[in-house]
Structure 1
Amino acid sequence: MPNSVALPSDLHPASYYAATRLPHPYYRALQGHLEVDVCIVGAGFSGLNTAIELAERGLSVAVLEARTIGWGASGRNGGQLIRGVGHEVEQFEPLLGHEGVRQLKQMGLEAVDIVRQRIETHRLDCDLTWGYCDLANTPRQFEAFADEITELRGLGYRHALELVTPAQLPQVVGSNRYAGGLVDMGSGHLHPLNLAQGEAALASRLGVELFERSPVTGIDHGPKVKVRTAQGSVEAGTLVLACNAYLNDLNPELGGKILPAGSYIIATEPLGESVARQVSPRNLAMCDQRVTVDYFRLTADRRLLFGGACHYSGRDPKDIARYMRPKMLKVFPQLERARIDYQWAGMIGIGANRLPQIGRLAEHPNVFYAQAYAGHGLNATHLAGRLLGQAITGQVGGGFELFARVPHITFPGGKHLRSPLLALGMLWHRLKELI
C-alpha cells in the first residue's frame, strides 16, 4: 500500500511539471517475494494503463518502477494529446491491406477517447484543456489540410475541425511564421505528470501493487517469469516490458529496435494575460509540420511551454535554455524579454518505421511489450494499455494482432552507432524538406 507522505521533489528530474505536480503518495520499494498473474516493468503511461486494464478484468498485477511514477517521458513530455498513432501509416498497406490501415487510423482517434474517458470517469486533476492546431509551414502543407479533414470525416470523427487561412491565423497564433492551420477540438493538452500520478492512484485503488525505486536486475524466463530486483522478486505467468526509451539492456532484442532520442522543452515565466492572449488567443496546443518539429502551448498558469528540436546524435546541449530560446523567438519574437524559468530534457523512443511497437516476444510468448511512440506517446500509450489488456486476457480482434503483424527492424551498428546513423538519415529528410 502507498505511504501517505509525498515524495521529495528531487526524485523527479527538474521541470515545470515536477515543480507544479499535485501532492501524491509514494510507493515502497519491493522487498521479498511476490506472486501475481502479471508483472509489469515500467510505471509510465504504458505500464500504468496496462495495469489498470488488467486489474479491471480481474487479474492480480505488480508494477516495478526503477525510479518513481512518471519519471521518464510520461512525466516530462509536451503534454499534447493529439489524434493519430504512427506516422504515414499508408506505408503499411502492402502488409495490412486498405482495411488494416483504416483500422490503424481509427485506433489513433479512439486512443484520445481512452484518455478522455479515463480522466472524466475518475475525475483525474491534470489541467485537461481541449483544442489543438496543426500549423502549416508551407502553402502545400496547408492545402493538404483540406484532404485531412475529408479523411477524418470519412473515419467518423465527430469533433469540430476548422481550416484557418493565413489571414485568420492571428486569431489562433501570435506569429507570422505559418501558412495556415487546422484546428481540431477533439485534441488538446494537459499536465502529464499529474495524469500519471492520478492513474497510479487509480491503479492502486483497483488492487495493483506498485513498487518504486525497484530497478530490475534480471529476468528468468519460463512458463512462469521471475523478475528480480536488488531486494526482492516477482513471479508471474505474464510479463509486460513497458520501459520505452529507458529499456537499457533489459532486453537486447527489443532495445535494438528502438532509438532513444533527446527532446527538449523550456517554459517561460508566467505571461501577462494580454501577452498570453496575443501568443495563443484560443489557448490551443500547437505543432508545426517540419521534421524537426516545434510544439508549444500555454500552461494553466499562462507560461509558454515550447519544445522540440529532437536530437538523434546522442549528445544533449549543455544549456537547454540557450539552445531552445532562439527557436522560440523565431516563432514569438515578442517574447524577447520573457524570462525562462524551467528547462529540461528527456528521451523519447523512436522506431525505424515510426509506428508504435506493440506485441509479444516470439521466443517467450508470455512476454508482451509496448514501446517506440515517436513523440506521440500520450495517447498511443493509453491505446497500448488497452490492446495489451485485451490480448493478455484472451480477447481477440481488439487491434493487438494488427500491430503485432508489423515487423520492426533492428537498427544497424549496435547501440553505439545507431544514433549517428539515424542522425544522418534525419538530415537527409531535412534537406528534402528544404528543397
Structure 2
Amino acid sequence: MTDEIASGQRATEHLPWGAVWGQDAAVRTLQAATADAGGMTHAWLITGPPGSGRSTLAHAFAAALIAEPTDHAAMRQVLAGSHPDLTALRTERVIITIDEARRLVERAAFSPSLGRYRVIVVEDADRMTERTSNVLLKSLEEPPERTVWVLCAPSDADLLPTIRSRVRTLRLREPEVADVAALVSSRTGASAQIAEQAARHAQRHIGMAQRLATDDAARERRDETLRGVLAVRGVGDAVRVAGRIVELATDDAKALTAERDAQERAQMLRTIGVAEGQAVPPAVRGQLSALEDDQKRRATRSLRDGIDRVLTDLQSVYRDVIMLQFGREEGLVNVELAPDMRALATSWEPRRTLAVLDRIQHTRRSLEQNAAPLLAVESMLVTVATGRVP
C-alpha cells in the first residue's frame, strides 16, 4: 500500500473529527450527542479562547450531524462548507447585522434537503448586538425538529443571558504551550525553538502561533511594537508609538487582505466576462462597487482585529511585569524582553501596572464600540507614560 493511499485511508477513518486537535473531551460529548437522537440538544454554544478550535469543532459536529456515518463524501462537503444543509456565518464586518441574523433564521426554518439535519453555524456569535441577538431567540428556543444551531464565542459571558438560557454550553480546554509548539512544528516544519517561541507569544492561539512561526515580518512587527511601548516615558513618546502601532497594524491588515481582495475582484470580472485591463461596463459597476464596499468593511474589521492582537500582546507584557513584581519568574510569556520588564517592575508600583492593565481592557471595549483606533491607543499609552487615566 502506498503512503498516499494509507494517508487517505487514515484521513477517512478519522472523519469528521480529524482536524480537531486537543479537545478529546469535547469531541466525546458531541459524538455522544450525534449518536443519541432522542437526547439531542438543538442549540449549542461552543466557547473557548481564541485559537482553541471552536469553529473547527463546530464544522466537524455539523458534518457528523448532516452526513450518515459512512457517507464520507457528504462529510467532506460539509467540512468544505459547500453542503446545502449547512449555513455558516463568519461575518466580515465589525458586528453581525440584523439582516444577517434574519437570513439565518429563514434558513433555519427549512427542512434538510439531503442530510439528516440542517445545521446553522455562527462562528462569531460574540459580535451580535442585543437587537441582533433578539432576532435569534425564538428560533433557538423552538427550532424546527431537524435544525441544529451551533454558536461559537470566546466565553458565554459574551452573549446575552437570554441566549445563554436557550443553548447547551460546551467549554473547550486551553492547550499547553508545549503541545501547541509540537503541533506547529509538525505542521509547518519550524524549528523547535521558533515553534516554542511562537506558541508562547501567541499565548497558545494555534492559528496565530502558526503565523508567527512562518512569518518573519509578523515576528518583527510584534517585537518592534512591544519594545516601543516599553520605551514610552512621556506623552510625546505615547503619541509617537501610538501612531507606529496603528501603522504596523494597518500594514498587517493589508498583508492579510490584499491578496484576497485582488483574487475576489479578478474572479468577479471573469464571471461577468470582463478581460483584465478592459473597462468595466456601466451595467455591472454596481456589483463591483458592492464588492469593494464589502472589502472596505473587511479591511476595517481586519485593522481592529490587528490592534486587538496588539492589545493582547501588551496585556501579556504587563502581566509578566506584575508577576516579576511579586517575585514570580516562571511562566513568563515574553522571556526575550525580561531585562526591560525587570527594569519596569522595579521602577513602578504594582498598582500602576494594574492601572495599565485596566486601561488596556478599557481600550479594547472602546474599539468594540467603534472608537477611532489612533485616539484609543494614544489615550492608553498616556496612561502607560504617566500612570494616570486621561
TM-score (norm 1): 0.23
The structure showing larger relative contact order (alpha-carbon pairs under 8 Å, at least 6 residues apart) is 1
Structure ranking higher in helix proportion: 2
TM-score (norm 2): 0.25
Structure ranking higher in strand proportion: 1
